[in-house]
Chain A
Amino acid sequence: ETGVTQSPTHLIKTRGQQVTLRCSSQSGHNTVSWYQQALGQGPQFIFQYYREEENGRGNFPPRFSGLQFPNYSSELNVNALELDDSALYLCASNQIGGPSTDTQYFGPGTRLTVL
């Protein structure tokens, strides 16, 4: 167990709806990154949050947005859901400025199904 938690575990939505996924980082970690993993593929970087600001973004449209809170927890919001958004959404945390500053630890993930 890494200490990174995510909720909910599973979620079913219909096309066009909006979804919010939540993540609590490991104790002592100040950075949260979100990844999307489609079946049979490696995780794809969505974005990272550090000090409550977006600190890098992958090739995802603006309908993917996020937040980081003062306690370093984070939310991923996806608007106007599409069928291709069905995937495992992973949150990872690390400590920028720490001894292994870029070593990321993953939470258990949220499985999103869009019908």
Chain B
Amino acid sequence: QKEVEQNSGPLSVPEGAIASLNCTYSDRGSQSFFWYRQYSGKSPELIMFIYSNGDKEDGRFTAQLNKASQYVSLLIRDSQPSDSATYLCAVRAGGTSYGKLTFGQGTILTVHP
């Protein structure tokens, strides 16, 4: 079992729709959860982080965390063609391993006009 798994893509949604990206993790001691966006040929860009169970909203983005189910998701409302990118889920384990983020393989999202 991979430490961090993301829903297989690619995911294609029409402009204006809600895109739903999912991620599961295996380490129950994981403390912090991050979503990064990566455009082709570029480096990952932080979108959101979440530490506590529940929802966290930032503009069109909502991160959802369920530690009991070891599940984190990202919803993108009113999807735009500029949202087309690879979305990476990253997890930090508990303890003092501040630096080590474990990433999923990424989900490619395409928003078509």
- Contact status A42-B104, CB under 8 Å: yes
Q: Tell which of B34, B98, B105, B106 has the most Cβ of chain A within 10 Å.
A: B98
- Contact status A107-B100, CB under 8 Å: no
- Contact status B92-A102, CB under 8 Å: yes
Question: Which among A50, A58, A102, A108 is the interface contact of B43 at CB below 8 angstroms?
Answer: A108
Interface residue total, chain A, C-beta cutoff 8 A = 31
- Contact status B45-A106, CB under 8 Å: yes
- Contact status A102-B103, CB under 8 Å: no
Tally the A-B contacts, defined by beta carbons under 8 Å. Answer: 73
Q: B14 in the interface, Cβ–Cβ < 8 Å?
A: no
Interface residue total, chain B, C-beta cutoff 8 A = 24
- Contact status B98-A108, CB under 8 Å: no
User: Chain A's nearest CB lies how many Å from the CB of B43?
Assistant: 4
Question: Which among B45, B100, B103, B104 is the interface contact of A56 at CB below 8 angstroms?
Answer: B100
Q: Which residue of A lies closest to B103 (CB)?
A: A42
User: Chain B residues with Cβ under 8 A from A55's Cβ?
Assistant: 98-99
Secondary structure dominating the interface of B: strand
User: Chain B residues with Cβ under 8 A from A40's Cβ?
Assistant: 105-106
- Contact status B100-A106, CB under 8 Å: no
- Contact status A48-B100, CB under 8 Å: yes
Contact code string A75-109 (vs B, CB < 8 Å = 1, else 0): 00000000000001010101010001111111111
Complex CA gap A103/B44 in Å reads 13
- Contact status B43-A44, CB under 8 Å: no
User: Chain A's nearest CB lies how many Å from the CB of B111?
Assistant: 20
A sample of 20 more A-B contacts (CB under 8 A), given A33-B101, A102-B99, A106-B43, is A33-B100, A42-B105, A43-B103, A45-B100, A45-B101, A48-B99, A50-B99, A56-B97, A56-B100, A58-B100, A88-B43, A90-B44, A96-B98, A102-B31, A102-B92, A103-B32, A103-B34, A103-B49, A106-B36, A106-B46
A-B contact pairs, 12 of them (CB 8 A): A41-B106, A42-B4, A43-B88, A45-B100, A50-B98, A56-B97, A94-B98, A103-B34, A106-B44, A106-B46, A107-B43, A108-B42
